[in-house]
Amino acid sequence: MDHLPVFINLRQKPCLVVGGGNIALRKVNLLLKAQAKIKCISPEFCSGLIELSRENTLDLIEKRFESTDIDNQSVIIAATDDDKTNAMVSSLAHESGIPINVVDSPDLSSFIMPSIVDRSPIVIAISSAGKAPVLARIIRAKLETIIPSAYGNLAEIAGEYRHKVKQRFVNLKDRRKFWESVFSGVIAEKVFAGRSEEAKADIEKYLAGSIEMNLGEVYLVGAGPGDPDLLTFKALRLMQQADVVLYDRLVSKGVMELVRRDAELIYVGKKGGSESTRQIDINERLVELAKSGKRVCRLKGGDPFIFGRGGEEIETLSDNGIPFQIVPGITAASGCASYSGIPLTHRDYSQSCRFVTAHLKDGTSNLPWEEFVVEQQTIVFYMALTSVNHICQQLIAHGMREDMPVALIERGTTPEQKVYSTSLSKLPDLINNREIHAPTLMIVGEVVSLRKKLGWFGD
């Protein structure tokens, strides 16, 4: 290790920044966060610094740096674009034993500034000892994506209860167990969802012994249309902390690979052409697992609330008093449209977009066809594969132009995506002799013709 990582308390301590450009601005911003008393010296200042000094206690001194400027400073940062000045500040600071950082010059610095992930009071510092700052920044960006932004709030709340918890659990092991359950269970999730007051009330109840600590929870997570890169940060986080994952055919392999390795996986889809698991059985299973204290992730293709029966699942959970969270996902219409170059709306062609299921609960597809045959509207049919002929016939019979552009998108957003785009009257023949794989989505409307205009010739 080339440097010892330490966190310095600079609250109300005099700090000097030499330089007035954008780099100095970044350093001043950091020192402001640490509540330092800042003096910034430079013959001129960028507009950002001037702006900042209007709203913050910040001393901008317009002059050249002189040796006496370092007197009584706790920390000095040299951020000028003049090597001579930087070197002078460095040697003066070294002589006086004041910690000095010269931006991008580890050799002139007595300390270096790490890349940071700020979830105050949690702060993560990453350093490459000045050898690969870009790599440190890449690592930082990765951490930013996996650490929920509300971790800071969680730590604040923990701070508030630290003393009480110490009194309640005298034994260190019990205390640790308590905090582990708080940080990776229902309480943490409530804080992340912005429900801090509820979370605090739960902590009070646990401390008073009026509720059980290891309550289970269900996450109803939208897994998107296939490409794992389309998952949300929240979906990924919950997938990686679940004890059990229930999934079906619509959840892609790529997404399943991101589930926590040691989670129990339960398949609740169709098995080799046989009937799907009954919805009521899935609902009951979710309740049963959560009641046994498990964190259960129900992964749903696309968005759980768009033709996903998410509503039915949470009804049962709510009837049974099981805590749950719903995480939206990118629905097939958005995913397939983007990945095939079809804007769902367009100022010149379509002012509204309708999502329709071609498969009704009673097995028919008796739909309000005349409502679909209106100008400037895009219609997206989910679950349409077996009814393509019927849909095309009905739309034409109700007055839609035979040459209305239409696209059938197979396994959208995955590496196997295929797009068949043609006109309403030609689609049935086009797909007649081909083997089309589910899932498929059908988009009807003028916007479909835009994919060629937008230069989409990939398929």
Q: Which residues bind ligand SAH (CB under 6 A)?
A: 225-226, 250, 300-303, 306-308, 331-332, 336, 382-384, 409, 411-413, 439-441
Residue among 37, 177, 243, 248 flagged as catalytic: 248
Position 179: which residue type? W
Residue among 131, 142, 270, 452 flagged as catalytic: 270
Taking the C-alpha atoms of residue 228 and residue 244, their distance in angstroms, rounded to an integer, is 19
Shortest spacing between CB 248 and ligand SAH, in angstroms: 10
Residue 106 has what DSSP assignment? G
By beta-carbon proximity to ligand SAH, the closer residue of 191 and 424 is: 424
The number of C-alpha atoms within 13 Å of 131 and in the hemisphere containing its C-beta is 5
Judge whether 331 and 308 are in contact, CB under 8 Å: no
By beta-carbon proximity to ligand SAH, the closer residue of 65 and 381 is: 381
By beta-carbon proximity to ligand SAH, the closer residue of 40 and 356 is: 356
Strand, helix or coil for residue 298: strand
The beta strands (E) that lie in 324-448 are given as 324-327, 352-357, 377-382, 405-410, 418-423, 440-444
Shortest spacing between CB 295 and ligand SAH, in angstroms: 22
Tokens 């997570």 sit on residue: 221
Shortest spacing between CB 53 and ligand SAH, in angstroms: 50
Shortest spacing between CB 345 and ligand SAH, in angstroms: 18
First to last CA, the chain: 53
Among positive and negative, which fits the CA dihedral 208, 214, 220, 223?
positive
The beta strands (E) that lie in 127-252 are given as 217-222, 244-247
Strand, helix or coil for residue 380: strand
Query: Which H helix or E strand runs over 118?
Result: strand 115-119
Nearest to 279 by CA among 255, 246, 235, 319: 246
Which pair of structure tokens corresponds to residue 410?
């197979």
Task: Tell me the residue number closest to ligand SAH, measured at CB.
Answer: 302
Taking the C-alpha atoms of residue 371 and residue 256, their distance in angstroms, rounded to an integer, is 38
Shortest spacing between CB 253 and ligand SAH, in angstroms: 12
Shortest spacing between CB 226 and ligand SAH, in angstroms: 4
Is 27 annotated as catalytic? no
In degrees, to the nearest 5, what angle opens at C-alpha 19 toward C-alphas 18 and 24? Answer: 100
Longest dimension (CA), the chain: 90
By beta-carbon proximity to ligand SAH, the closer residue of 185 and 445 is: 445
Contacts of 379 (CB under 8 A, 6+ apart): 353, 354, 356, 372, 443, 444, 445
Shortest spacing between CB 319 and ligand SAH, in angstroms: 22
Shortest spacing between CB 3 and ligand SAH, in angstroms: 48
By beta-carbon proximity to ligand SAH, the closer residue of 92 and 299 is: 299
By beta-carbon proximity to ligand SAH, the closer residue of 148 and 439 is: 439
By beta-carbon proximity to ligand SAH, the closer residue of 77 and 306 is: 306
Burial class (CB in 10 A: 0-12, 13-18, 19+), 242: buried
By beta-carbon proximity to ligand SAH, the closer residue of 293 and 428 is: 428
Q: How far is CA 299 from CA 221, 257, 400, in A?
A: 5, 13, 37
Is 281 annotated as catalytic? no
Shortest spacing between CB 387 and ligand SAH, in angstroms: 11
Residue 246 has φ and ψ, to the nearest 5°, of -105, 130
Nearest to 302 by CA among 365, 235, 352: 235
Taking the C-alpha atoms of residue 193 and residue 96, their distance in angstroms, rounded to an integer, is 49
Query: Rg of the chain's alpha carbons, rounded to an integer?
Result: 30
By beta-carbon proximity to ligand SAH, the closer residue of 236 and 380 is: 380
Catalytic residues: 248, 270
